[in-house]
Amino acid sequence: MKKLFLLFSISILFALFAGGCATGNPAADAFGNWVGGMMIAEAGRPQVTVNNVVPHTHASSPVGAVRFVTDARMDGSSYTGFVKKGVDGIERPDGKGKRTYEHGLVLEGEFKDGFIHGPGVAIKPGIGRWEAERWKDGKPSGRGSFTSAAGAEYQVKFEGEFEDGAWHGRGVLTGHDGTKTEAEWRRGKIYGQARVTKPSGTDLTVDYLDDKRLKEEGTTVYPDGTKQVGKWDYARGTGSGVINWKDGREYNGEWRNVEGKVDQPDGEGTMTWPNGNKYKGEWKDGKMHGFGKMTLANGTVQEGVWRADKFVSAQPAPSVSPVPSGGKQGSVSVISNEEDAEVLVDGSFVGNAPAKLKLTEGAHVIEVKKDGFKPFKREIKVTEGSELNLRAVLQRQ
């Protein structure tokens, strides 16, 4: 969903540049490895090389002489533009020119000592077009852009800063569906914070570390019209906020992150249906599960334990540590992976999980146990009006 297109926009380039990647950096490998590396490797060949024209042409001209050639044959390419004779007597592209390789690559712009150097354009049929304000050793640098070729499997465009062939600095990546990722890039990877927008209305602020998403905040709109507004924590795999479905349902609370789909209500939350029904309580995997209260549109109330959307029992939420008149209190909801596990507060049995406890303000020790399992114990601090959730995971002995 909101997560996919970020990584997708970057990984997509690996497919585009297949056959030329070595470093794992799409932008750098596309040119730095496939083109620049080719030129450097060829530079040591004697006589006719990828960087040189035929060395004996105009043998009488002095070193440093510049002339214009048309369709000069080079090793695997033809060149039209200015050439300059070096101290070794070989003429190389130097100045404005255009070089076309037999395998389809076209380099056009300023050349120096046989390399494209300065403002220039590179076009690879079926792959795309690079433009940069300067080139160094066959790699784009400074302000520039990359646009995938028409008909390529993925349509993307990058506009921003390059360094040594890689996206480096501020830039905007636009996907085939109009998704825009505006970010700071470091060696082809997103660094720090990025903003992601889509024509559908999605607008997210994403925090990155080493090209991994840490957190997201904002609005996500899905193809079916479902809308989520909230926060996502990828380290924990959870989030919270509001989900509005196209059918009129609205959920406000905690959820579990689900890649590529609407996230699942999980934890504490409130669901309201178009017919006026309302449930407030605990959720698991998108279903009412745990202690909760359902208020129907006709006023009927079902409060107690729920399992996978089904009302199990009207078990009242037990209260312990009676609160004196005017005393301060908070609530604690206790659920466990083992049904009917015993719940103790400060050493006293108060009921079975799941349970919703009303406790006096202050520190309390909650213990959950069941025969055959290791007991679970946790100290909590209750404050006035607090609503705490405690999940007790029991492990077999």
Residues 343-353 as b/e (b if ≥16 CB within 10 A, e otherwise) read bbbeeeebbbb
pLDDT given at position 64: 84
CATH number of domain containing 358 = 2.60.40.1120
Question: b/e map of 307-335 (b: 16 or more CB within 10 Å)?
Answer: eeeeeeeeeebebbbeeeeeeebbbbbbb
Q: Choose one of 177, 212, 247: the last residue of a domain.
A: 212
CA angle 96, 142, 172 (to 5 degrees): 125
Number of helices (H), then strands (E), belonging to the chain: the values are 3, 30
Query: What pLDDT shows up at residue 58?
Result: 57
189 and 168 co-located in one domain: yes
Q: Is 217 exposed, middle or buried (0-12, 13-18, 19+ CB in 10 A)?
A: middle
**Looking at the structure, do residues 12 and 142 belong to the same domain, yes or no?**
yes
Question: Per the domain annotation, does 391 fall within a domain?
Answer: yes
196 and 250 fall within a common domain: no
Domain of 182, in residue numbers: 4-53+116-212
Quick count: other Cβ atoms within 10 Å of Cβ 147?
17
Task: Examine the domain organization and report whether 231 and 301 are in the same domain.
Answer: yes
Domain count for the chain, please give it.
Answer: 3
Q: Could you say which of 154, 183, 212 is where a domain stops?
A: 212
Q: Tokens 């950096």: give the residue.
A: 25
Per-residue confidence (pLDDT) for residue 5, from 0 to 100: 35
**18 three-state secondary structure:** coil
**88, amino acid identity:** D
Please name the residues in contact with 91: beta carbons below 8 A apart, sequence gap of 6 or more.
52, 53, 54, 55, 57, 58, 67, 69, 83, 84, 85
Is the alpha carbon torsion for 253, 254, 260, 262 positive or negative?
negative
Residue 279 and residue 244 in one domain: yes
Give the span between the Cα atoms of 298 and 276, in whole angstroms.
9
Residue 317: predicted pLDDT? 47
Q: What is the pLDDT along the chain (397 residues), one digit of tens a residue?
A: 444 333 333 333 323 332 232 223 333 333 333 333 333 333 332 223 334 444 445 556 788 889 999 999 887 889 999 999 988 888 889 999 999 998 899 999 999 988 888 899 999 988 899 999 999 878 899 999 999 887 766 788 999 999 988 889 999 999 888 999 999 998 888 888 999 999 999 999 999 887 788 999 999 999 999 999 999 999 889 999 999 999 999 999 999 999 889 999 999 999 999 999 999 998 999 999 988 899 999 999 998 888 899 998 765 444 444 444 456 889 898 888 787 789 999 998 888 888 888 899 999 999 999 999 999 999 999 998 898 988 888 888 8
Structural domain contains residue 111 = no
Please tell me the predicted confidence (pLDDT) of residue 68: 93
Three-state DSSP class for 258?
Answer: coil
Clarify whether residues 230 and 301 are in a common domain.
yes
32 shares its domain with 146 = yes
Residue 333 lies in a domain: yes
Spatial separation of the C-alpha atoms in residues 94 and 53, rounded to whole Å: 11
Whole-angstrom distance, CA of residue 183 vs CA of residue 334: 42
* pLDDT value, residue 11: 33
197 and 280 inside one domain: no
Question: Is the residue at 63 inside a domain?
Answer: no
* Angle CA 52–55–58, to nearest 5: 120
Whether residue 200 is found in the same domain as residue 170? yes
Compute the distance between CA of residue 171 and CA of residue 294 in angstroms, rounded to an integer: 49
Residues 31 and 153 in one domain: yes
Residue 71 falls inside a structural domain: no
* Same domain for 279 and 303: yes
What are the structure tokens assigned to 34, written together? 């496939």
The DSSP output letter for 324 is P
Q: Is there a domain that residue 177 lies in?
A: yes
Look up residue 269 and give its two tokens: 């939350």
Q: How many CB atoms neighbour CB 241 within 10 A?
A: 20
For residue 335, give both structure tokens. 């659920």
Among 212, 244, 261, give the residue marking a domain's end. Answer: 212
| Claim to verify: residue 305 and residue 334 sit in the same structural domain | no
**Structural domain contains residue 88:** no
Q: Determine the pLDDT at residue 335.
A: 84
Q: What is the dihedral of CA 381, 285, 368, 320, to 10 degrees?
A: 50
Residue 391: predicted pLDDT: 85
Q: Tell me, yes or no, whether 170 lies in a domain.
A: yes
